[in-house]
Amino acid sequence: MKFVLIAMAFLFPQLLLSQDAREIVRKADEKMRGNTMQAEMIIRTIRPTWSREMQCKTWMKGNNLAMILLLSPAKDKGIAFLKRKKEVWNWMPSLERTIKLPPSMMSQSWMGTDFTNDDLVKESSVVEDYTHTIIGDSSIDSRSCYIIQMIPKPQAAVVWSKVIICIDKKDFLELHSRFYDDEGKLINTMNSYDIKMMHDRLIPTRFEMIPADKKGQKTEMIYKNIQYNNPIDDNFFSTDKMKTIN
Protein backbone atom coordinates (compact mmCIF):
# COMPACT_ATOMS: atom_id res chain seq x y z
CA MET A 1 0.00 0.00 0.00
CA LYS A 2 2.79 2.31 0.98
CA PHE A 3 4.47 1.73 -2.38
CA VAL A 4 1.30 2.45 -4.21
CA LEU A 5 1.05 5.78 -2.43
CA ILE A 6 4.65 6.65 -3.18
CA ALA A 7 4.16 5.64 -6.79
CA MET A 8 1.08 7.81 -6.98
CA ALA A 9 3.00 10.71 -5.50
CA PHE A 10 5.46 10.47 -8.37
CA LEU A 11 2.85 9.88 -10.99
CA PHE A 12 0.40 12.51 -9.84
CA PRO A 13 2.33 15.24 -8.02
CA GLN A 14 -0.43 17.68 -8.89
CA LEU A 15 -2.93 15.56 -6.95
CA LEU A 16 -0.84 15.59 -3.79
CA LEU A 17 -0.25 19.29 -4.12
CA SER A 18 -3.94 19.89 -4.42
CA GLN A 19 -4.58 17.71 -1.37
CA ASP A 20 -2.09 19.86 0.54
CA ALA A 21 -3.68 23.05 -0.69
CA ARG A 22 -7.09 21.84 0.37
CA GLU A 23 -5.72 20.87 3.79
CA ILE A 24 -4.14 24.31 4.24
CA VAL A 25 -7.41 26.03 3.35
CA ARG A 26 -9.30 23.68 5.66
CA LYS A 27 -6.97 24.50 8.55
CA ALA A 28 -7.25 28.25 7.95
CA ASP A 29 -11.03 28.00 7.70
CA GLU A 30 -11.26 25.83 10.82
CA LYS A 31 -9.07 28.28 12.70
CA MET A 32 -11.16 31.31 11.79
CA ARG A 33 -14.53 29.67 12.31
CA GLY A 34 -14.10 26.85 14.82
CA ASN A 35 -16.91 24.32 15.18
CA THR A 36 -19.07 27.08 16.54
CA MET A 37 -18.35 30.78 16.80
CA GLN A 38 -19.97 33.65 18.64
CA ALA A 39 -18.68 37.11 17.88
CA GLU A 40 -19.38 40.76 18.33
CA MET A 41 -18.15 43.02 15.58
CA ILE A 42 -18.15 46.44 13.99
CA ILE A 43 -18.74 46.87 10.28
CA ARG A 44 -17.63 50.19 8.87
CA THR A 45 -18.62 51.24 5.35
CA ILE A 46 -16.15 53.80 4.07
CA ARG A 47 -16.68 56.01 1.02
CA PRO A 48 -14.68 59.04 -0.19
CA THR A 49 -17.04 61.59 1.42
CA TRP A 50 -18.71 59.71 4.28
CA SER A 51 -18.68 56.62 6.45
CA ARG A 52 -21.24 54.68 8.47
CA GLU A 53 -20.78 52.16 11.21
CA MET A 54 -22.91 49.30 12.43
CA GLN A 55 -22.42 46.83 15.24
CA CYS A 56 -23.64 43.29 15.28
CA LYS A 57 -23.50 39.96 17.03
CA THR A 58 -23.10 36.72 15.11
CA TRP A 59 -23.53 33.04 15.92
CA MET A 60 -22.31 30.35 13.55
CA LYS A 61 -22.23 26.58 13.54
CA GLY A 62 -20.58 24.84 10.60
CA ASN A 63 -21.57 25.99 7.12
CA ASN A 64 -25.28 25.50 7.53
CA LEU A 65 -26.33 27.53 10.54
CA ALA A 66 -25.81 31.23 11.16
CA MET A 67 -27.55 34.15 12.84
CA ILE A 68 -26.73 37.86 12.76
CA LEU A 69 -28.27 40.44 15.07
CA LEU A 70 -27.80 44.18 14.52
CA LEU A 71 -27.10 46.25 17.64
CA SER A 72 -26.67 49.66 16.01
CA PRO A 73 -27.47 52.12 14.39
CA ALA A 74 -30.63 52.85 16.38
CA LYS A 75 -33.04 52.47 13.45
CA ASP A 76 -31.73 48.98 12.65
CA LYS A 77 -31.35 47.68 16.20
CA GLY A 78 -32.93 44.25 16.59
CA ILE A 79 -32.96 43.40 12.87
CA ALA A 80 -31.80 39.80 12.55
CA PHE A 81 -30.86 37.38 9.79
CA LEU A 82 -31.07 33.62 10.10
CA LYS A 83 -29.57 31.08 7.75
CA ARG A 84 -30.39 27.37 7.82
CA LYS A 85 -28.80 25.46 4.95
CA LYS A 86 -30.10 27.21 1.82
CA GLU A 87 -32.83 29.19 3.52
CA VAL A 88 -32.48 32.76 4.79
CA TRP A 89 -34.96 34.75 6.86
CA ASN A 90 -34.92 38.36 7.97
CA TRP A 91 -36.66 39.56 11.15
CA MET A 92 -37.82 43.18 11.11
CA PRO A 93 -38.67 44.16 14.70
CA SER A 94 -40.47 47.38 13.75
CA LEU A 95 -42.81 45.40 11.46
CA GLU A 96 -42.82 42.41 13.86
CA ARG A 97 -42.40 40.27 10.83
CA THR A 98 -40.24 37.46 9.47
CA ILE A 99 -39.46 37.81 5.78
CA LYS A 100 -38.16 34.89 3.79
CA LEU A 101 -35.50 36.10 1.36
CA PRO A 102 -35.19 34.82 -2.21
CA PRO A 103 -32.02 32.75 -2.83
CA SER A 104 -30.87 35.40 -5.34
CA MET A 105 -30.35 37.76 -2.36
CA MET A 106 -27.32 35.74 -1.19
CA SER A 107 -24.87 36.97 -3.81
CA GLN A 108 -25.84 40.62 -3.32
CA SER A 109 -24.55 43.29 -0.97
CA TRP A 110 -25.43 42.89 2.69
CA MET A 111 -26.99 46.03 4.19
CA GLY A 112 -25.21 48.21 1.60
CA THR A 113 -21.69 47.12 2.60
CA ASP A 114 -19.01 45.69 0.32
CA PHE A 115 -19.71 42.27 1.85
CA THR A 116 -22.27 39.99 0.27
CA ASN A 117 -24.80 38.02 2.29
CA ASP A 118 -22.73 34.97 1.42
CA ASP A 119 -19.55 36.53 2.87
CA LEU A 120 -21.34 36.94 6.19
CA VAL A 121 -23.32 33.76 6.56
CA LYS A 122 -21.03 31.57 4.42
CA GLU A 123 -23.45 29.64 2.32
CA SER A 124 -20.57 28.34 0.23
CA SER A 125 -17.72 26.42 1.83
CA VAL A 126 -14.18 27.45 0.99
CA VAL A 127 -13.17 23.81 1.49
CA GLU A 128 -16.00 21.86 -0.18
CA ASP A 129 -17.00 24.15 -3.02
CA TYR A 130 -13.56 24.77 -4.57
CA THR A 131 -10.63 22.94 -6.12
CA HIS A 132 -7.40 24.21 -4.54
CA THR A 133 -3.87 24.51 -5.93
CA ILE A 134 -0.73 26.00 -4.39
CA ILE A 135 0.62 28.41 -7.01
CA GLY A 136 3.48 30.06 -5.10
CA ASP A 137 4.85 31.69 -1.97
CA SER A 138 4.74 35.21 -0.68
CA SER A 139 5.50 37.24 2.39
CA ILE A 140 2.95 39.54 4.07
CA ASP A 141 4.07 41.67 7.02
CA SER A 142 7.11 39.38 7.38
CA ARG A 143 4.90 36.30 7.60
CA SER A 144 5.68 33.64 5.02
CA CYS A 145 2.54 32.60 3.10
CA TYR A 146 1.28 30.04 0.62
CA ILE A 147 -0.48 31.49 -2.40
CA ILE A 148 -3.42 29.24 -3.20
CA GLN A 149 -5.70 29.39 -6.21
CA MET A 150 -9.29 28.28 -5.63
CA ILE A 151 -11.55 27.45 -8.59
CA PRO A 152 -15.21 26.76 -7.75
CA LYS A 153 -16.54 23.31 -8.58
CA PRO A 154 -19.05 23.39 -11.48
CA GLN A 155 -22.12 22.72 -9.35
CA ALA A 156 -21.13 25.03 -6.47
CA ALA A 157 -23.29 28.08 -5.75
CA VAL A 158 -20.38 30.52 -5.82
CA VAL A 159 -20.44 33.96 -7.42
CA TRP A 160 -16.70 34.06 -8.15
CA SER A 161 -14.86 32.35 -11.03
CA LYS A 162 -11.58 32.32 -9.12
CA VAL A 163 -10.28 33.22 -5.65
CA ILE A 164 -6.60 33.66 -4.80
CA ILE A 165 -5.79 33.50 -1.11
CA CYS A 166 -2.58 33.90 0.88
CA ILE A 167 -2.36 31.76 4.01
CA ASP A 168 0.34 32.15 6.65
CA LYS A 169 2.49 28.99 6.75
CA LYS A 170 3.03 28.92 10.51
CA ASP A 171 -0.31 29.87 12.02
CA PHE A 172 -2.65 29.21 9.06
CA LEU A 173 -4.01 32.75 8.96
CA GLU A 174 -5.80 33.97 5.84
CA LEU A 175 -4.01 37.27 5.30
CA HIS A 176 -5.01 38.32 1.80
CA SER A 177 -7.67 37.28 -0.75
CA ARG A 178 -8.62 38.33 -4.27
CA PHE A 179 -11.98 37.58 -5.82
CA TYR A 180 -12.48 37.40 -9.62
CA ASP A 181 -15.70 37.47 -11.64
CA ASP A 182 -16.82 35.31 -14.62
CA GLU A 183 -14.68 37.32 -17.01
CA GLY A 184 -11.59 36.92 -14.84
CA LYS A 185 -11.75 40.53 -13.72
CA LEU A 186 -10.64 41.38 -10.18
CA ILE A 187 -13.70 42.48 -8.19
CA ASN A 188 -12.73 42.54 -4.52
CA THR A 189 -9.57 42.37 -2.47
CA MET A 190 -9.61 41.42 1.20
CA ASN A 191 -6.75 42.20 3.59
CA SER A 192 -6.42 41.04 7.17
CA TYR A 193 -4.74 42.95 10.00
CA ASP A 194 -4.34 43.22 13.77
CA ILE A 195 -3.38 39.62 14.58
CA LYS A 196 -4.34 39.00 18.19
CA MET A 197 -5.08 36.24 20.66
CA MET A 198 -8.89 35.90 20.66
CA HIS A 199 -10.32 33.37 23.11
CA ASP A 200 -8.06 30.34 22.52
CA ARG A 201 -6.33 31.22 19.25
CA LEU A 202 -4.30 33.71 17.28
CA ILE A 203 -6.30 35.29 14.43
CA PRO A 204 -6.52 38.51 12.41
CA THR A 205 -9.20 40.73 13.95
CA ARG A 206 -9.61 43.42 11.30
CA PHE A 207 -10.60 42.70 7.70
CA GLU A 208 -10.81 45.16 4.84
CA MET A 209 -12.89 44.44 1.74
CA ILE A 210 -11.83 46.74 -1.12
CA PRO A 211 -13.78 46.83 -4.40
CA ALA A 212 -11.33 46.98 -7.32
CA ASP A 213 -12.88 49.66 -9.48
CA LYS A 214 -14.10 52.10 -6.84
CA LYS A 215 -11.55 54.55 -5.53
CA GLY A 216 -11.66 55.48 -1.85
CA GLN A 217 -14.26 52.82 -1.12
CA LYS A 218 -14.00 49.92 1.31
CA THR A 219 -15.69 48.08 4.15
CA GLU A 220 -13.94 47.19 7.38
CA MET A 221 -14.96 44.41 9.70
CA ILE A 222 -13.49 44.47 13.20
CA TYR A 223 -13.96 41.69 15.75
CA LYS A 224 -14.44 43.05 19.27
CA ASN A 225 -14.64 39.64 20.81
CA ILE A 226 -15.01 36.03 19.73
CA GLN A 227 -15.85 32.84 21.57
CA TYR A 228 -14.96 29.58 19.86
CA ASN A 229 -16.45 26.12 20.23
CA ASN A 230 -19.03 27.00 22.88
CA PRO A 231 -21.78 24.43 22.33
CA ILE A 232 -24.77 25.94 20.47
CA ASP A 233 -27.81 23.74 20.00
CA ASP A 234 -29.14 23.45 16.42
CA ASN A 235 -32.52 24.63 17.71
CA PHE A 236 -30.95 27.97 18.57
CA PHE A 237 -30.98 28.74 14.84
CA SER A 238 -34.75 29.09 14.60
CA THR A 239 -37.11 31.82 13.44
CA ASP A 240 -38.52 31.97 16.99
CA LYS A 241 -35.09 32.61 18.48
CA MET A 242 -34.40 35.28 15.89
CA LYS A 243 -37.31 37.30 17.30
CA THR A 244 -36.31 37.12 20.94
CA ILE A 245 -32.53 37.18 20.87
CA ASN A 246 -30.71 40.27 22.13
Partner 1 sequence: MIKHLTIFFCCFAVLQASGQDTATLPKKLTINGYIKNLQTLSFDQNFDHLISGNLLHNRLNVKWKPSGKLTAVTEIRSRLFWGEQVKVTPGFAAQLRNDNEKLNLQQVWIDKPSLVLHTNVERLYADWSNEKWNIRLGRQRINWGITTNWNPNDIFNTYNFLDFDYEERPGIDGAKIEHTFSSGLKTALAYTNTGKKEGTVAAIKYAVNKWNYDMQLITGWYKNHPTIGAGWAGPVKDAGFKGEAQYFFAGGDSAGHFNISLEADYMFKKGWYANIGVLYNSQGLYQPVSNWQIINLKLSPENLMPTKWNILATTNKTFTPLLSANISLLFAPGTNLLILFPAVQYNLAANLDVNLVWQSFFVQQAQHFEAENHQCFLRFKWSF
- Residue 116 is classified by DSSP as B
CB of 113 to partner 1, least distance (A): 7
User: Hey, which residues between 95 and 124 contact partner 1 (CB under 8 A)?
Assistant: 95-97, 99-105, 107-109, 111-113
Total residues interacting with partner 1, rule: CB under 8 A? 34
Under the binding rule (CB under 8 A), the answer on residue 155 touching partner 1 is: no
CB of 2 to partner 1, least distance (A): 46
CB of 44 to partner 1, least distance (A): 11
Quickly count helices (H) and strands (E) in the chain: 4, 13
Under the binding rule (CB under 8 A), the answer on residue 230 touching partner 1 is: no
Burial 172-209 (b: 16+ CB within 10 A, else e): bbbbbbbbbeeeeeebbbbbbeebeebeebebbbbbbb
Strands (E), the chain: 36-47, 50-61, 65-72, 80-84, 87-92, 97-100, 130-140, 143-152, 162-168, 174-180, 186-198, 201-211, 218-228
Nearer to partner 1, 141 or 240 (CB): 240
**Cα 206 from Cα 208, distance rounded (Å):** 7
**Cα 130 from Cα 154, distance rounded (Å):** 9
Nearer to partner 1, 134 or 187 (CB): 187
**Binding span for partner 1 by CB under 8 A among 24-32, 79-87, 192-200, 222-230:** 79-87
User: Hey, which residues between 165 and 194 contact partner 1 (CB under 8 A)?
Assistant: none
Nearer to partner 1, 115 or 207 (CB): 115
User: Hey, which residues between 31 and 70 contact partner 1 (CB under 8 A)?
Assistant: 45, 47, 50, 52-53
**163 close to 199: Cβ distance less than 8 angstroms:** no
CB of 194 to partner 1, least distance (A): 24
Nearer to partner 1, 198 or 245 (CB): 245
**Cα 20 from Cα 112, distance rounded (Å):** 37
Burial of 125 by CB count in 10 Å (0-12 exposed, 13-18 middle, 19+ buried)?
A: middle
**Cα 54 from Cα 111, distance rounded (Å):** 10
Nearer to partner 1, 17 or 111 (CB): 111
Q: Which residues, including other chains, have CB under 8 Å from residue 217's CB and lie 6 or more apart?
A: 46, 47, 48, 114, 210, 211
CB of 109 to partner 1, least distance (A): 6
Please select the residue that binds partner 1; options are 1, 4, 74, 197, rule is CB under 8 A: 74
Residue ranges binding partner 1 (CB under 8 A): 45, 47, 50, 52-53, 73-75, 77, 85-87, 94-97, 99-105, 107-109, 111-113, 235, 238, 240, 244, 246
